[in-house]
Structure 1
């Protein structure tokens, strides 16, 4: 988040994350509280689409850390809302089979998503995502959830891949190569993140066989040698 509101609770009370919601989940809210010093675009953006995304940050009991997005790439705002303001929630995997409106499906990000959807249905060796729980995030996921035009011609396709069990480097390389081939055909980037016990890890980093990779967690990003190591399960 480029801008973040002060938390509506004492900082030393931010000790946990509510397990009912995970990073990248989209939440539809009944209302959005007013925040001191919020950017001018926040109210209009929420009126167009009353959705926010769960972000990786600790919260006090009864709150969840969220982010709002505006129409421009630079318009991002992080804050917290009370659990009572949440109406419904959509995980990325709930959007994996959705399609955009007919007049939007020729955009490169949606074409790449459609190729992945076909792979999963066919289930052949090319269907690299078939064994995983996955879904779109970023602008693609937001538009699929809200039907508000968000994806542009240059938008990447962002993916979240659930990886509760260790992913071998060989499997990661095969998966990355497949996603990159689809990205090349669509003329965009496909940016995949593995959701591991230690937090979010870029598929490209894990496939590269680095000695340590960055795991993004609510407590803080950290470099780890193995995102599935028992020492990191509760990190």
Structure 2
């Protein structure tokens, strides 16, 4: 089983591992929807770094989970079928249709993250009128700048804020930042943020803390 950041995992709360006291809201949240998200954090062998979200924006908790305890894995790419959000009234889902047409046109592997991904995976309503749309592009090979710019310009037409993160073998970066042109981008890795002139090559990333 290959676990990647943004994957949603169905779990049994009793399998969580934490070196700090687990807040009571975590158990209430997992009782409603037993799903966690894979975090971009280095984890010991055999463990997955997971994040639990509560009802409030400030309710976020990190823990670990033995990989063999995953009951179900749902990747953002599994949540792109229009039938999965058919009938949902939020304008966020209308923008999902724009994103689907756009990303499919460029033959990109993509999916929703954040509250949208969580709602589609768990079936629990988490999207509100204030929700942004977080999208993930899986890009194992370098993306042309002109494609990034085209996507950014098209998504600007949306009435809601859309944040697109590009996932590469080295980490993740903002599509908007990459589309600006030549120059290093801020690359998120499991060992912290780095500046990289080529975010597809780990060896060319330099730590911000060096």
Same fold (TM over 0.5): yes
Q: Which residue of 1 aligns with 2:58?
A: 74
1:71/1:230 CA distance change after superposition, 3 Å:
closer
Tell whether the 8 Å contact from 2:133 to 2:163 is kept in structure 1 after alignment.
yes
- Residue from 117, 134, 140 that aligns with 1:164: 140
- After TM superposition, give the deviation of residue 231 of structure 1 in Å: 2.5
- After TM superposition, give the deviation of residue 222 of structure 1 in Å: 0.6
Q: How does 1:5-16 map to 2 (within 5 A)?
A: none
Whether 1:26 aligns to 2:8 is: yes
List runs of 5+ in structure 1 lacking aligned partners.
1-18, 120-126
| Bigger Cα displacement from structure 2, 168-177 vs 46-55 | 168-177
1:163/1:34 CA distance change after superposition, 3 Å:
closer
1:230/1:139 CA distance change after superposition, 3 Å:
closer
- Residue from 111, 121, 142 that aligns with 2:94: 111
Q: Which residue of 2 aligns with 1:151?
A: 127
The SS at the match of 1:166 is coil
- After TM superposition, give the deviation of residue 31 of structure 1 in Å: 3.2
The SS at the match of 1:161 is strand
Tell whether the 8 Å contact from 1:56 to 1:217 is kept in structure 2 after alignment.
yes
1:101/1:47 CA distance change after superposition, 3 Å:
farther
- After TM superposition, give the deviation of residue 116 of structure 1 in Å: 2.7
Whether 1:96 aligns to 2:68 is: no
- After TM superposition, give the deviation of residue 80 of structure 1 in Å: 0.7
Q: Which consecutive aligned stretches of 4+ in structure 1 deviate over 4 angstroms post-superposition?
A: none
Q: Which residue of 1 aligns with 2:173?
A: 201
- After TM superposition, give the deviation of residue 152 of structure 1 in Å: 0.4
Q: Measure the CA separation in 1 of the matches of 2:42 and 2:17.
A: 20
TM-score by length of 1: 0.80
1:51/1:176 CA distance change after superposition, 3 Å:
same
Matched length: 202
List runs of 5+ in structure 2 lacking aligned partners.
none
The SS at the match of 1:59 is coil
- After TM superposition, give the deviation of residue 83 of structure 1 in Å: 1.6
> Per-residue displacement from partner, 1:114-163 (whole Å, max 9, x unpaired)?
3333x2xxxxxxx3443100000000000000110100001011000011
RMSD: 2.0
- After TM superposition, give the deviation of residue 67 of structure 1 in Å: 0.3
Q: Which residue of 2 aligns with 1:231?
A: 203
Q: Measure the CA separation in 2 of the matches of 1:171 and 1:30.
A: 41
